[in-house]
Structure 1
Amino acid sequence: MLGTGAALAVVGGGDVSAGELAYVARIAMGSNQRACTGVLVDPRAVLTASTCFAETSALHNGVPMSYTKVTVGTTSSAATTVIVHPQRDLALVRLRTPITAIAPATLSPAAPAAGEELLLAGFGRTATDWNTGKLRSAKFKVDGAPAASFDVVAAGGDPVGLCKGDAGGPALRLSGGTYQLAGLHHTANQAQCLGEAAGDPRGTETRIDDVRGWITGNLTGFDTGFELGDAKPAWTNTRDDSGGVTNVEGICCGLAGPELAVSPERDLAGGERALMYSGYDNSATESYAYLKAFDMASQPVRAGTVLSYWVYPQSNSGSWGLATGGNSACVGIDLIYTDNSSLRDSGAVDTRGISAHPAKHCGNLTLDKWNQVVVPIGKTANGKRIARLAIAYDQPANTGGYRGYVDHISVSDDTFNTGLETGQYGPKWSNTVSDGGGARGGLSNVGGICCSLTGPELFYSNSAAAAHTGTGELVYSGKDNSATGSYAYMKVFGGVDFYITPATRLSYWIFPQSNANSSGLATGTNSTCVGVDLIFKDVVTGAESNLRDTLARDQYGVYAHPAWRCGSTTLDTWNYVSIPLGEIAKGKQIVQFDIGYDQAANTGGYRGFIDDIRISR
């Protein structure tokens, strides 16, 4: 139950007929200990009041601490994560299973005017009932000019008001014959409600129209690591008719066909589960198996939308003798769009320049190792919508078994993505220390690596031989002059301004040079003691913090702090680093990117390259 002033049922209103305002949701936490109202704004998300989750035990790192059931019409789904607005009483509740039978509410593009009549609805208490389970509505009018919130009073002479259980319910304005979501119930004096004194009912609504960007920005995206609370496949071992199954049977043990199911056998890092695939190819001329996994609920594709995932194709020795040759590598994710077109036939290529078609992955993935595949699908499918996500094996040649795992699937809009190429985001600063105290790292005991350089370097270079992709990259270098404490934090990107959500992730590629590969300038493993640091801003207090001093870890469990990265990457090769940010900084803004060298022990030079820096959600 929500506390007085934080939760709001529509006392005095009328019951809503079945099928009307179908997108209004009832949110129940635990064994009905707490309940709120919300609004379906996307097949995978319900918008409600953040005060519904205000108790300290309600959320942990954005995940509900108790089972939270969201019911829209006759369909129910579990809440997986909750994204809280940093300033307003708003929370976006992500759903484990999409609700596709009911059309989401339309967000109002403009604020209601003073005196405008609105329809308010909710599942809360009435004057006589603690919990009716019925949706009720009543007419109110706007009292005063709306700002970040606006007050409402009864529109007619009847004593109607908002009660406990109504928090997060909709304030709807009529426009062109249809209702638009203009606000969510925030607070009320609860006059006329069960157990409360009589009086003149008043309420306050959280305004919606001016934060539509925050809402829609957090709607787009799909992310799962197959762990508890993550999205689970809607289907197991099920053929997708878009691609079908031809000349593929079960890999062994009396299995009737190819497999696709969540398994605890292997995980990329930091978890316990991945998606296992297997099958047996019985034709050397044409074989494929497209198995559907997720209902993507018509998720939109935008110009910057990216599909990424990790795949672990097993060898014969790594699969108890079940897999044959390189068969396990002929696997990839396929997307089926609502117009019945597919990713595999779209001409899309991944960031390595390899076709997204699963048949083109044969020989391009390393066996018995996690391989990342990143496909900028917005380049070929901008404006389309994704109906389903499938895992596919496809190989015209060879026969035999295949087996492996897929993990950390993400479909997201990049909020920041640069390969340092022409037309992409470039450095704001070169060779500039990130100083000023506080969260900024500064400089201590690091000078120029050679050649009369007066300090550490961080600059843009356009060298095709050095870049991870394309021709552009960042070059870092310096000389450590103290074996007890040395660091150099150089600022590189500024003018960025976006929120961190529970699914936000930083990734980049780094090439630390050895002594032999740096013309004798680098010493030992010094070049590995480098990483990307981020400067965060709390939008409420204005206080700054940073990534390095959090407990954030990368996909291998290594801390993000540059000093902890010493020895964690391999010299003279490109290393991929991926760090989830949601648990340590959700709701904050990224205002600056730094590149830091940090090492207490050792002296000598360090040098290397960084490329393909990405913030995704």
Structure 2
Amino acid sequence: MRAMTHAMRSRLATVAALALGVVGVSVVPASAVTGGNTVPSGQYSYVAHLRATGTDRACTGVLVHPQMVVTDSACVADAQGVVTAGAPKLPTTVTVGRADLAATTGGLVTAATRVIPHPSRPVALVELAARTSVPPATVARAAPAAGDSLVLAGYGRTADEWVPTVLKAGTATVSAVADGTITVTGPTSVCKGDAGGPAFRQAGGAVELVALHHRSNQVGCLAEAQTGTREAVETRLDDLYAWINGNVPSIGSTFEPGDHQPHWRNATGAGMGAGHGGIANVTGVRSGIPPELFLGQDARAHSGQGLLLYSGEDTSTTSSYAYFKAFTYGNVMLRPGSVLSYWIYPQSKSNSYDYADGTNSTCVAMDLVFTDGSTLRDSGLSDQDGRGVHPGNHCNTMALDTWHEIRVELGSKFAGKVLRTVMVGYEQAANVGGFRGWIDDYKITDVVATDKFTTGLQSGQPQPTWTNTLAGGVAPRGGTVNVLPVRDGISGPELFVGTDHLNTGAGNILLYSGRDNSGQTSHAYLKSFQLSQTFGGPTTKLHYRVLPQSKEKSYNFADGTNSKCVALDLIFHDRRTDTLSNLRDSGTVTSNGKTIHPAQQCAALRLDEWNDVTVDLGAVANGKEIVEIDFGYDQPGNTGGFRGFVDDIRISF
């Protein structure tokens, strides 16, 4: 957190107090736009409104990513005016896509969940609890110039309204440009409630976000001076483009413990379908090992000690290539601002245990494969040095035994496309011999990552792969012991899509049932959803709702509290070691304070009401493929029936 002077704390506190119209000093952080016009619905829809719950603080901001708003840092300060990273100190509601705040439909109203303050400027990024379909604003990358005409917008005070509910916009002219700021002058004034609002530049039909309202003399604002030059100081964003782009949602890895782990080891794209490259005329760099791409450790890593190690032996002077899978996604969409970056260290013969020959190690690049079959390597794009992105274009363009950064702007070719696989490719026609090197600190900035899996079991949503199907008896699946049908006439324990006969409003649900036949050991695990190419990461979570039924609410099928001894289970496949494991035996603790094992949930769930369960999967699922969602009943102590519902299953990114 940047240091803040006493004067700055006082000023930020004044902003919060002034949001609803208390009169204060003449120069304060801008809290509205007067001298402008009401913005019609659909125009500047990316302008956001922020309100701190239980306070008189209201501000403006701008959507720069479907899940991120940029605003003045005063708008997300605590009660003492201090801005810190992390969850907002004051609960804050953000509205985007509504030019009229009194409207009840359209746009998005959601909570702010995280604040990222800039280290030296009064700017903060605010992460939203939900994504919006409202198109974000484009952040300018060229500096404004004196004389430029800008559009100022905001939800703040006007000349005759204390607390307007509609967005206003008007024009102003840049009168001065300084490091980090610009000064703009009338005919539009910035007033209280406009802090964090945008200054737009319009050229050739395009609109760019140039700056944010920070402070003004408020001439023309209600209860302020009505004559004089209307002047405001705006915080520039054009030179903060890299900071914004680097802090909006991204994917990548530093390859350190706890960061995203690779999904594959020594796996080429052969058989993976369009774009995955495969392998031809490349063998292992030495006898007994295959062509390699795996997570390694070395003190010479670009950061930390973790890295990806690549190696192989080129055996043909006419056509040789090998494309290795590193990560598989399928739920990550690129945006116009998406940038791929990574560091690469091609090794020489003397620095590779004599495995690498000549400059072969330089003929390597990261590659991206999209769900439509298109690839980065064949896109015609170039990196920051003009080097083509195809691995063959990298040959002899980098010095051996040193780290090189590669940066590729992806938006012009791939905005709106969904990423399938991140790969590392070697390709060279001219030479034979070994190649070896490292890759570190891979990142793709400015992406939209949707849930890995989600269903409410309604029409059009994913439905179970299996119905009333036991999960086998071979570990890590649980099988069944001493569990019978809940009643005569059915074949066994049940798990199927049914209807909410209790009228809780859930619609379709998964209905579970069975009868425990032993007071010593009883369990039944049933398969539900088969998943494909669904990999966990350090922030992946499992969410679901469960309603265990009592005897009275279950047509007398359920006995005692048996229905509570249930939980969802996951089956993981570690593709790097080709091993299977499960969630229930991992010891992972859920949001209700008990481990996710069904027997431990007996003491956590409540009968006859929906229980929300969240499980942080990071420690157990990072780098592993989630191949199956199962359901388990497990209880050693009691006999009798159990029955209930499961709904709203989600595996978040």
> TM-score if structure 2 supplies the norm length?
0.42
Structure showing greater radius of gyration is 2
> TM-score if structure 1 supplies the norm length?
0.44
